[in-house]
Amino acid sequence: SAFGTSVIVPASDVFPLSPFLSSNLGIWTRPANEGRTMDCYFCKTCGVRVMHRLREPDGRERDVVSLKGGCVEGLEWKGLPHIWTKSAVVEIPEGVRTWEMAPEGLP
């Protein structure tokens, strides 16, 4: 797709995973930038990715999780910041906060 929507939340709001999530989510781990790895959680039934969590090179997990926006009921879409605009393929609205890459501390 041209873009994705992520909601950044404290990892403590999600982990440890509930028994329901543990039994319904699979994990695929892939290399990320600067020696990090990314745990990509996906639905075992349909395969859609649900969230990501970065691990630092030393194995330490980030204290935030990136949830896919479509999984968050009632998400308010207006006025949200845009990240990774360096590779944007759609026009970014004027007046919104932007970062060419991810802001410090985000996955």
> How confident is the model over 30-59, as pLDDT tens digits?
999 889 999 999 999 999 999 999 999 999
Burial 25-36 (b: 16+ CB within 10 A, else e): eeeeeeebeeee
Which carries the bigger pLDDT value, residue 25 or residue 76?
25
**8 A C-beta contact, residue 25 and residue 43:** yes
Backbone angles phi, psi at 43, to 5 degrees: -70, 125
pLDDT of residue 96: 82
Backbone angles phi, psi at 23, to 5 degrees: -80, -20
> How confident is the model over 22-31, as pLDDT tens digits?
999 999 999 9
Q: How deeply is 105 buried, as exposed, middle or buried, from its count of CB atoms within 10 A (0-12, 13-18, 19+)?
A: exposed
User: Do β-strands 37-43 and 49-55 pair in parallel, antiparallel, or remain unpaired?
Assistant: antiparallel
